[in-house]
């Protein structure tokens, strides 16, 4: 029965060992039986958290444009070990992350309406929700606005990306400390 549960779960999408253990526990499978089945699946390569993490990072970054911070959170929620997650996230460097942020902003900017300051706030917010650090988000939006129009370029010139990023970073640290 435990094997069937795991195979049904894996037929839907790849799963981590922790996700499968949770599914087995919900179905009333004992920890001993669960560990035995999961160990066997590990041995034969049916479950591989490192491969799962690498594929997850690649897919979610390319498809949804998520940054390392958001991806780390998603991997943690799926029960991927911290070291395994760090290794998978290591394949995503700062340059790639910044290029993805710029591409996301440029795509959204084509259909963005409103005053440059409102567009700026919306786009920085979008990148923040995808896990981009404040400095990366602000620079990507500022650069894209500067290239868009004379009015947007004038607004972008007034933005001090480093000062804003420092202020955002302090707010972020304060919010994490309050949690």
Domain boundary (32, 47, 62) is at 47
In angstroms, rounded to a whole number, what is the distance separating the alpha carbons of residues 155 and 134?
A: 18
Nearest alpha-carbon partner for 127 in 157, 97, 147, 167? 97
Per-residue pLDDT of the chain (179 residues; tens, 9 = 90+): 889 999 999 998 889 999 999 999 999 999 999 999 999 999 998 999 999 999 999 999 999 999 999 999 999 999 999 999 999 999 888 899 999 999 999 999 888 888 888 888 899 999 999 999 988 998 898 888 888 766 666 676 766 656 555 545 554 554 455 44
Number of domains in the chain: 3
- This prediction has a pTM of 0.78
Residue 93 CA, distance from chain mean position: 13
Same domain? 34 vs 62: no
Nearest alpha-carbon partner for 127 in 150, 143, 113? 143
Range of the structural domain that residue 86 is part of: 48-92
Same domain? 84 vs 31: no
Q: Are 91 and 54 in contact (CB under 8 A)?
A: yes
**pLDDT given for residue 151 in this prediction:** 67
Same domain? 146 vs 98: yes
DSSP-derived letter for residue 27 is: T
**pLDDT given for residue 21 in this prediction:** 94
What are 177's two structure tokens? 């400390």
In angstroms, rounded to a whole number, what is the distance separating the alpha carbons of residues 6 and 108?
A: 40
Q: Give me the CATH number covering residue 55.
A: 1.10.10
Domain boundary (66, 92, 118) is at 92
SS3 call for 104: helix
Q: Are 74 and 43 in contact (CB under 8 A)?
A: no
């Amino acid at each position: 029965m435990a094997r069937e549960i795991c195979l049904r779960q894996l037929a839907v999408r790849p799963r981590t060992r922790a996700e499968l253990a949770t599914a087995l526990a919900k179905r009333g499978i004992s920890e001993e039986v669960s560990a035995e089945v999961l160990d066997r699946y590990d041995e034969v390569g049916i479950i591989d958290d490192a491969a799962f993490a690498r594929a997850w990072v690649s897919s979610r970054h390319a498809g949804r444009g998520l940054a390392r911070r958001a991806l780390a959170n998603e991997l943690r929620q799926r029960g991927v070990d911290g070291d395994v997650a760090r290794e998978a996230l290591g394949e995503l460097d700062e340059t790639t992350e910044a290029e993805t942020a710029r591409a996301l902003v440029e795509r959204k900017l084509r259909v963005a309406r409103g005053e440059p300051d409102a567009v700026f706030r919306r786009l920085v917010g979008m990148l923040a929700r995808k896990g981009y650090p404040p400095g990366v988000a602000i620079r990507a939006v500022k650069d894209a606005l500067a290239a868009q129009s004379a009015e947007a370029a004038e607004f972008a010139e007034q933005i001090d990306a480093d000062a804003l990023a420092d202020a955002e970073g302090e707010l972020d640290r304060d919010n994490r400390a309050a949690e």
